[in-house]
Homo-oligomer: A and B are copies of this chain.
C-alpha cells in the first residue's frame, strides 16, 4: 500500500500566526478582573505576562508575524507531516478520505512546544529570568521545560499530584531539560498549604496547580507565569498547525469537509481548526469543525456559557466560556490533558455561534480507536489524541453507511509513549468509563461566581 506522507519543505514554514479575532461572528466578551468584576486592562496582567503576549491577547490584527528566533526553533521539528490514513480507511472499509497532521514529532512529543517556544522567547526578550506554570498529564510542563532550556530561563512546574505519582517519567523529562517539578498541592504556596491541611490525600487538580503557579509567580520578582491553553495568545501560536495543514491539503488536492481535534482547554483543537474556521467564516464554506471531548469532563457539550475563573482559588481573570464550574473535579481518566473544567473563550464563542460543534466520547471507546490506529497507522496516540481519532472513525463509519466520500482531517496532537499505562489497563480489560454524574455537575455549577452587574 502506498504511503502518502505530505511534507512541506522548510521554507514553507509559515511566517505568520493566524488570529481569528477579526473574523469572529461577534466580538469576544471582555475578561473581567477577579476582584472588581470590571473589564480587565493589559496593565492588570503585566505582573504575570510580558507585554508582547498581552498585545497578542487583545490584538485584532488578522495575522501576526512569527519572530525569526521562534521560527528557527520551530525548524527542529516543523513543518510536521500530514498523512493520508490509507490503512485505517481500509480497515474501516470507508469511502471517506482520512488525513491526520502528526504533531508528535517535537522533542517533547506533542503540539505544546508551538506556544511554549513563543512564550519563552517573549519572556526572555522582556528580561524575565524564570517561568512558573502548572501541568496536568505533563505534556505542557515538558514543552515549557524544553523551551526554557532553549532560551536559558529557569522553569518551575506544578504538576497535578496524581499525575506526578502515576507518570514519574514526565517529571524526569522536565528535570532532564533543567526544570524543577513539584507535586501539586505543595507546601510552597498558601493555596497548596490550605488544600493539604484540609485534604492531605487529595489527588490535586489543574485548578489547584494554576493557583499555585500564579502564587509562585507573584512571590518572585524575576518570574512570570505561563499557561499552556485557554488564552487567546496560546490559540494564536498553535495556528501554525492549521496554517501548515492548509498548504498540505492543497498539495493533496483535497479540501476537508470535516476538521477534528480533541479538546481540553482548546489549544490543539484551535491550532488545527482556526485557519479553516476563518475560511469558513470569510467564504461561507460548509466545513464541519468538531471538538472531541471526554464524557468525564464534558465542558462543551454539557456546561453553560458563563463567566468563570480558570483556577480553584479564583486568582485568574473571569473568562466567558463553557464551563463545568471551577470547583468541578473531573474523574481520573487517563487523558489528563482533557481534565479541565473550562474551555478557551475563542473556542467557546465559536461553539456558541454555531461555527463549530462538539461531541463527547467515553474512555474505553477512545482506547479502542487508539488501538486500531496504532495497528494500522503505527503511531501510538496519546490518550488525549485518541478522542480525535474516535471522532474521526465515527464520522468515517457514517460515510460508509451513506456512501459519501467525505474528506476528514484530524489533529494527531501527541504520541502516547509516556502514557502507556492506560494501554496496559485497556489491553488487559481493566479500563472503565467515567461518565460525569449529574450530581457532580450540579456541585461544579454551584461554584460559578456571581458577576457584579453580570
Residues of B within 8 Å of A451, CB to CB, are none
Q: How many copies does the complex hold?
A: 2
CB atoms of A380 and B176 under 8 A apart: yes
Assess whether A46 is interfacial by the CB under 8 Å rule: no
Assess whether A3 is interfacial by the CB under 8 Å rule: yes
10 interchain residue pairs of minimum CB distance:
A3-B75, A107-B378, A172-B420, A169-B420, A172-B424, A3-B72, A417-B417, A107-B379, A149-B375, A176-B423
Assess whether A15 is interfacial by the CB under 8 Å rule: no
CA distance A168 to B150 in the complex (A): 31
CB atoms of B178 and A380 under 8 A apart: no
- With beta carbons under 8 angstroms apart, the residue of B9, B73, B371, B418 that contacts A3 is B73
Given contacts A72-B2, A76-B5, contact A173 B420 (CB under 8 A): yes
Q: Which A residues between 141 and 175 are near B, CB-CB below 8 angstroms?
A: 146, 149-150, 168-169, 172-173, 175
CA distance A418 to B418 in the complex (A): 7
Given contacts A149-B375, A375-B178, A378-B150, contact A172 B421 (CB under 8 A): yes
Residues of B within 8 Å of A423, CB to CB, are 172, 175-176
CB atoms of A76 and B3 under 8 A apart: yes
Assess whether A109 is interfacial by the CB under 8 Å rule: yes
CA distance A177 to B169 in the complex (A): 22
Assess whether A1 is interfacial by the CB under 8 Å rule: yes
CA distance A379 to B146 in the complex (A): 9
Among residues of B, the one whose C-beta sits closest to the C-beta of A376 is B149
Residues of B within 8 Å of A178, CB to CB, are 375
Assess whether A395 is interfacial by the CB under 8 Å rule: no
Q: A149-B378, A417-B417 are in contact. List 6 more A-B contacts (CB 8 A).
A: A76-B378, A169-B421, A172-B420, A175-B427, A176-B420, A176-B423
Interface string of A260-293 (1 = CB under 8 A from B): 0000000000000000000000000000000000
